[in-house]
Amino acid sequence: KLLKTFWENHDPTQGYRQGNDVGTQYRSAIIPSTQGQYDAAMLSHDAFATEMRALGKGAITTKVFTPSDTTKADAPTPFYFAEGYHQGYLEKNPDGYCGLKGTGAVCPI
């Protein structure tokens, strides 16, 4: 269910951006920690790509890392929350811009 929600609630064809927000931090990615998670991610990727093609949408640019990619990573780095003006943005700005939206394609998994 998590992968279905992931694919259907953003546009995975935008490379290093989402809407007007551009940069490597906006890249869509799946980072599995086990082979089973990787297999499920790839199955969902391929199924969703088929749906996207059928609707005439662009190619998926989401990066699906392998479990070995994640085990080779350096030790975890600190997590930093976004700046205060990003926190609760749509709550503070009900008519504000939000670049996240789906493509209308349904993930068949």
Examine residue 33 and state whether it is found in any structural domain, yes or no.
yes
Q: Is the pTM of this model over 0.95?
A: no
**Which amino acid appears at position 15 of this protein?**
G
Mean pLDDT of all residues belonging to the chain: 87
The CATH number given to whatever domain includes residue 39 is: 3.30.1060.10
Scanning the structure block, which residue is given the tokens 């951006």?
17
One-letter-per-residue 3-state SS of the chain:
CHHHHHHHCCCCCCCCEECCEECHHHCCEECCCCHHHHHHHHHHHHHHHHHHHHCCCCCCCCEECCHHHHHCCCCCCCCCCCCHHHCCHHHHCCCCCCCCCCCCCCCCC
pLDDT of 32: 92
Share above pLDDT 70 across residues of the chain, in percent, rounded to a whole number: 91
**Domain span at residue 22?**
1-71+87-109
Examine residue 81 and state whether it is found in any structural domain, yes or no.
no
Q: Provide mean pLDDT across the span 47-53.
A: 96
